[in-house]
Amino acid sequence: MSLWHRFSKLLFEVALLKRIERTGYAYLGTGRENVAGHAFGVIFCAWLLTKLCEERVDEEKVLKMALIHDLPEARIGDFNAVNKLYNQADEDRALKDALVGMPIEKEVLSLWEEYKRMETLEAKLVHDADILDLIVQLKEQKDLNNPFAERWLTYAKRRLLTPVAKKLAEAITEIEWCSWWLEHFVKRDEKRKEP
């Protein structure tokens, strides 16, 4: 099989993440998201954290690590916190099997190991980006009157590791989820009232 075909297979595997639902929302009672949507949010949060971080950080490494942080879920599915109490999945094996013999295998597995060890600033930023993406979703659910979202937000914020992520989490929880687009209408209406 050619390298082109192997990369094509990997792209189909990654595309499956668009169909795999994140399972934690069943416990929250509202909201839904697929793994690919979550991955995009994590990547974007990770990028913002690299820009806000006062320490020197390898932005490329952070973005690549964020990109692959849930890749094994294409093979094992999404286990939420409750599922993990009763189920075990071999994420390492799933990732290795997906990449065996590919030119990116060594780089991805190295990033994966660094992420799991959680010793570098880059790994901690990706971890926090993962939590921040959840915080964004929980804040939306809170603003939409889910009575349990506030408890989840409190727990999620305690899991953050870096000062920069903690500051961003506080800002996220201080504004309404819809404020970014409501401001547009307020400004538009104010302009219409001007003589």
**Per-residue pLDDT, 22:** 96
Q: Average pLDDT, whole number, for the chain?
A: 95
Calpha distance 126→115 (Å, rounded) = 8
pLDDT confidence tier of residue 184, bands split at 50, 70 and 90 = confident
Asked whether 24 and 80 are in contact (CB, 8 A), the reply is: yes
Asked whether 156 and 135 are in contact (CB, 8 A), the reply is: yes
Give me the long-range contacts of 148-156 (CB less than 8 A, separation at least 24). 148/28, 148/29, 149/28, 149/30, 152/28, 156/131
Calpha distance 70→163 (Å, rounded) = 24
Does the pTM exceed 0.85? yes
Calpha distance 44→153 (Å, rounded) = 20
Number of structural domains, the chain? 1
CATH number at residue 95: 1.10.3210.10
Calpha distance 25→18 (Å, rounded) = 16
pLDDT confidence tier of residue 1, bands split at 50, 70 and 90 = confident
**Per-residue pLDDT, 195:** 66
pLDDT confidence tier of residue 69, bands split at 50, 70 and 90 = very high
Q: How many residues does the chain have?
A: 195
CB contact set of 79 (below 8 Å; sequence gap of 6+): 23, 87, 89
Mean per-residue pLDDT for 97-117?
97
CB neighbours of residue 144 within 10 Å: 12
What residue type is assigned to position 164 of the chain? V
Query: Can you give the residue range of the structural domain that contains 131?
Result: 3-193
pLDDT in tens, 140-154: 999 999 999 999 999
In angstroms and rounded to an integer, the radius of gyration of the C-alpha atoms of the chain is 19
CB neighbours of residue 170 within 10 Å: 12
pLDDT in tens, 22-48: 999 999 999 999 999 999 999 999 999
3-15 vs 91-99: helix axis angle to the nearest 10? 140
